[in-house]
Structure 1
Amino acid sequence: MTTPSQVPAGATIKDVAARAGVSPMTVSRVINNKPGVGQDTREKVEQAIAELSYTPNQAARRLVTSSEVLIGVIYSNPSAAFMSEFLTGVFEEASNRGVRLVLMRFAAGDVPTSEQLERFIGSGLSGLVLAPPLGESLAVNAVLAKYDLPVTAVGAYDVPNATCVRIDDAAAAFEMTQHLLDLGHRRLGFVLGSPNQAASARRMAGFHAAISGVEGVQVSLAQGDFSYASGLLAGELLLNVPTPPTAIFASSDDMAAAIVSVAHRRSLDVPGELSVVGFDDTTAAVTLWPELTTVHQPVRKLAAEALGIIVDKAQPNTSRQARPPRILEHSLIKRHSTAPIEQP
């Protein structure tokens, strides 16, 4: 029970926030009936307002209800090259659209807690962009389901209440595998991406679809997680088998670059003795020798598209329902890490 002595004279929005255990921005969103606040939190704020007899300052209220759009971006990706392209895309689109960004970064493999997510959303976000792999995190989506907040998930599949922005990973992997088959390779290695991303399974499915029905194909598999370190382990594993592959398809450029490093350490000629291909077409593909043949995934465009969708959804009287997936075009980039091979 609140006593008169516990009620500060001329209570401010900060007093309300402290009483409710939330941020001042969350209080502002409740006062102005904006989305992005859970029902439990809203009730706590309303109770604090009543207890403190708080009256909103009209000047501050006009500021909060201005047309400014604040977009949150959360990422936890092991590839610095991928994230460089991703962040460039969101920054450029934010500048073009005249919106503000707030970034939340976590170490690779880490997932934000419910408390961290709720504080972030409560800071006044108009929408949220999730970089892979967070778009498919069950823990993240369980929290987001409680909020009326537009969300886009880049590189993701079948995410409830979010618009997915991606390429056709299976088709892209099929085309790359077909390229290796056309060069005469029949001993193929494939390095899977992280098991917590649907794109990994789609790329593997495209690989298997391409080799299905082709006689004489021998396949060696290794598990990776899209990182350079996992590519080193996968390269050692694949090149240690009794009959090693003549070509290795890694599910990311970082892993492919690592495999090239392993091949060089073993004095294997790339591509004379071993062809290596990647996926993404990040800077990692062109900062090594030989430059990688890879799938071009337009990461910068994917990120910009995801941000643009959120900005559009944040406009007044616009539906916040998730839209059908937005699928952008990919392409095969042929460089110098692949070559034909004569089968014995």
Structure 2
Amino acid sequence: MVGQAGGKQPTINDVAALAGVSKKTVSRVINRSEFISEKTRKAVQGAIETLGFVPNPQARALAFRRNFLIALLHDNPNAQTVLNFQQGVLDAIKDSDLALLVRPVDRGSDRLLDDVRTFLEKQRPIGAMLLPPISENDDLAALCETLGVRYVRVGSAPLDDPQHCVSSNDHDVVKEAVRRLVDLGHRRIGFVRGPEGFRSAAEREKGFREALADAGLSLAEEHYAPGNYRYAAGVEAGEKLLALAEPPTAIFCSNDEMAAGVMSVAHGKGIAVPGALSIIGFDDSPTATHIWPALSTVRWPIRQMGVRAAQLLVPDFLGAGAKAIDPDPAALTSTFVERQSVAPPGR
């Protein structure tokens, strides 16, 4: 990079002069306009590199009428899920000019739409990613459309057109996990649900009940426990289920945090895992391998879903390296991971 004589910073006018194009053309190249020929684009980029020109981010934002931000909106009780998704997004945008802005919201608020509207109008992000359960709110997606903000909805089942949605296969993989318990000989299988109003909770429960039905079994009312994806809910569920006269020989928990809570109660009661009780969770969070015995669980590809969400949201702002991450749709498929927390009943 040669820069300018006397230490003067090169300007967009200098780039235009060296490339033999107009200032407006340079601006279009910088802002990745689709209406520029490859020859012109290369000439401008060559001039930028030669001069060592650094675009002014404020000027770019003004020209683009958006800040170079993408927003992540969530109301999720599981902090690890949010962090893992964020990491995937950051993996995708690390070589771009974009920054990630994270905004917690209250899905139960009467002002949800007004608050999100104010946030989007103030911050002017290029796009927004909606994590469950707010991703299931059609009005939020419509608001993004109205404001001209790109959006992607993340869920445990398809929620929108493919260009606006990243989804996993919770229902199918839970059926697989529960079939494994049935194949091992379990017939009294307990279930700890996720929070009311979460599509993920509904999909996981649906998969659980269908697996039992396929095996000619049903979920006994006393073997059912509500939950909210938090450790304390798992403890409460464990206290309820393991105090029964005929407790379950296996328990499926709708996430790893609650599974850890159930396991803690079992240890406290002297119930051997997996000798007297098998436990399965969901997420494959760090918790799954930080407890003993290591937890059998469903590996939810939430980090890869973050990558894919960014790829869908801002493909024109990502470099070739980012676009090549996780090109296989199979990377978004949840899988059952069997570890030491499951065994035949009464082993």
Same fold (TM over 0.5): yes
Task: Read off the aligned partner of 2:133 and give its amino acid letter.
Answer: P
Displacement of 1:68 in angstroms is: 6.5
Aligned to 1:167: 168
**2-structure distance, mates of 1:216, 1:159:** 30
Q: Per the alignment, do residues 96 and 181 of structure 1 end up closer, same or farther by CA in structure 2, a change over 3 Å counting?
A: farther
Runs of 4+ residues over 6 Å off in structure 1: 107-112
AA aligned to 1:74 is L
- Structure 2 runs not aligned, ≥5 long: 1-56, 319-328
Deviation for aligned residue 1:234: 1.4
The structure-2 alpha-carbon separation of the partners of 1:236 and 1:63, relative to structure 1 and needing over 3 Å to count, comes to: closer
Alignment of 1:235-250 (within 5 A): 235-250=238-253
- Asked if 1:120 corresponds to 2:123, the answer is no
Partner of 2:179: 178
SS at match of 2:146: coil
**Aligned partners of 2:234, 2:105: CA distance in 1, in Å?**
22
Distance of 2:278 and 2:87 partners within structure 1: 31
Query: Which amino acid in 1 is paired with 2:281?
Result: G
Residue in structure 2 matching 1:338, options 306, 328, 342: 342
**Does the C-alpha gap of structure 1 residues 149 and 240 become closer, same or farther in structure 2, counting only changes over 3 Å?**
same
Deviation at 1:181, TM superposition (A): 0.7
Alpha-carbon RMSD = 2.8
Task: Show the 5 A alignment for 1:157-306.
Answer: 157=157, 159=159, 163-215=164-216, 219=220, 220-306=223-309
CA 1:239 to 1:62, structure 2 compared with 1: closer, same or farther past 3 Å?
A: closer
Counterpart of 2:188, as a letter, is R
> Does the aligned pair in 2 maintain the 1:126–1:314 contact within 8 Å?
no
Where 2:209 maps in the other structure, the secondary structure is: helix
Question: What is the DSSP-based 3-state SS (H/G/I as helix, E as strand, rest coil) of the residue aligned with 1:286?
Answer: helix
Q: Distance in 1 between matches of 2:76 and 2:212?
A: 30
- Provide the rounded CA distance (Å) in 1 between the counterparts of 2:235 and 2:109: 22
Please list the CA deviations of residues 63-108 of structure 1 after superposition, one character each: whole Å capped at 9, or x if unmatched.
Answer: 5115973201112221122222112111221214442211113479
- What's the TM-score once normalised by structure 2's chain length? 0.71
Contact 1:157 1:164 in 2 (8 A): no
Which amino acid letter does the alignment assign opposite residue 76 of structure 1? Answer: D
SS for the counterpart of 2:342 is: coil
2:250 partner letter: A
Cα pair distance change 1:218/1:157, threshold 3 Å: closer
TM-score by length of 1: 0.72
Say whether the 8 Å CA contact 2:157–2:170 is kept in structure 1.
no
| Compared CA separation, residues 271 and 74, structure 1 to 2 (3 A) | same
Cα offset for 1:146?
3.2
**1:295 aligns to what SS in structure 2?**
strand
Following the alignment from structure 1 to structure 2, what is the Cα–Cα distance between the partners of residues 242 and 109?
A: 38
Q: The residue matched to 1:249 in structure 2 has which SS?
A: strand
- Separation (CA, whole Å) in 2 of partners of 1:83 and 1:239: 31
CA contact (8 A) 2:96 2:317 kept: no
- 1:342 deviation in Å? 5.0
Deviation, structure 1 residue 125: 0.9
Structure 1 gap ranges (5+): 1-58, 316-325
Please list the CA deviations of residues 161-217 of structure 1 after superposition, one character each: whole Å capped at 9, or x if unmatched: 882212111101100001111111110001111121112111111112111142466
Deviates further, 300-309 or 59-68: 59-68
Query: How many angstroms apart in 2 are the aligned matches of 1:279 and 1:208?
Result: 16
Alpha-carbon offset, residue 153 of structure 1: 1.7
> How far apart, in 1, do the equivalents of 2:148 and 2:177 lie?
40
Change (3 A) 1:178 1:60: closer
Partner of 2:77: 78
Structure 1 distance, partners of 2:61, 2:92, is 24
Number of matched pairs: 275
